[in-house]
Amino acid sequence: MQGKVCLVTGATNGIGYETALGLARKGARVAIVGRDSGRTQACAERIRASVPGAIVDPHVADLSAQAEIRQLAASLRDAYPRLDGLVNNAGAIFDRRELTVDGIERTWALDHLGYVLLTLDLLGPLKASAAAGGKPRIVNVASAAHYRGHVDFADIEGARRYGAMRAYSQAKLGNVLFTYALARRVQADGITVNALHPGVINTGFAKNTGGLFGAAWSLIRPFLTQPDKGAETSLHVATAPELDGVTGRYFSHSRPKTSSAESSDESVQERVWALSLAQIGRGG
């Protein structure tokens, strides 16, 4: 990874931080994205302190807001004419239904559409890396929760029926569906796209969630796997030499695994692809 440029979203704590740290240790120049300027800068400084000589560039954006994603992508394209790796990691779960500034349910907007819009807006630098002889990789951090997910096209944003885990599982299923649809489209460009389950990890996940769901997570959190272990699959999929050219796969515990039946349905993949493009205001 020496000399390569990689971007990690949601990098201020948990799996995202450990992924960025691991990439820096492997010699990559790491661009990190967080929502809070102070925390993102502090994260960059922690990585630099842990890895002498590491180049870590902090960037700030709310990845649930489409205007901020577009602004972020524009600055990233200016800063990095070539991008060798993109790890879409940012996400959260919300116990109450809320709409973003774009009028989209927050879980779907952040956990799914954020991946879609940022990735599509950064295809230029990724393709430039491939054209220069690189082997760029897009890594989408999904979840085993996608197995219990279902894309409710009649109520995609939970306006009629909302539940925190229902919305989260649907969004994580969206990640896998998007991975497969995008992999077909960019394979000829020399870009690989894979999704993964990092494990059930002790991170900031659900810390701001109330009710029974939040209470349950607070009870089990001390018994969960630590973030450095959770980042192992992300780092493996992003860097393992044996995965050069491997695309359109789902990984768990650093090994390929069959994803859900719904995620493997190409008609659903294409339907979610078309819906996602419509929601971010893109055609094609």
So what's the pLDDT on residue 271?
Answer: 98
Between CA 108 and CA 169 the distance in angstroms is 10
So what's the pLDDT on residue 221?
Answer: 44
What residue ranges define each of the domains in the chain, with the CATH number in brackets? 5-279 (3.40.50.720)
So what's the pLDDT on residue 283?
Answer: 74
With contact defined as beta carbons under 8 Å apart, do 182 and 284 qualify?
Answer: no
Rounded to whole angstroms, the maximal C-alpha distance in the chain is: 52
With contact defined as beta carbons under 8 Å apart, do 153 and 272 qualify?
Answer: no
218: its two tokens: 């607070």
Between CA 14 and CA 82 the distance in angstroms is 27
With contact defined as beta carbons under 8 Å apart, do 121 and 174 qualify?
Answer: no
Nearest to 3 by CA among 21, 18, 23: 23
Question: 97: which residues sit within 8 A by CB, 6+ positions away?
Answer: 105, 106, 158, 159, 162, 167
pTM: 0.91
With contact defined as beta carbons under 8 Å apart, do 90 and 237 qualify?
Answer: no
With contact defined as beta carbons under 8 Å apart, do 121 and 281 qualify?
Answer: no
So what's the pLDDT on residue 199?
Answer: 77
Selecting among 17, 80, 115, 168, the annotated active-site residue is: 168
Question: 223: which residues sit within 8 A by CB, 6+ positions away?
Answer: none
Q: How far is CA 174 from CA 84, 87, 214, 239, 263, in A?
A: 24, 16, 23, 24, 8
**pLDDT tens digits for the chain (284 residues)?**
999 999 999 999 999 999 999 999 999 999 999 999 999 999 999 999 999 999 999 999 999 999 999 999 999 999 999 999 999 999 999 999 999 999 999 999 999 999 999 999 999 999 999 999 999 999 999 999 999 999 999 999 999 999 999 999 999 999 999 999 999 999 999 999 999 999 765 445 545 555 555 554 454 445 445 556 779 999 999 999 999 999 999 999 999 999 999 999 999 999 999 999 999 999 76
With contact defined as beta carbons under 8 Å apart, do 105 and 168 qualify?
Answer: no
Residue 168 falls in the annotated catalytic set: yes
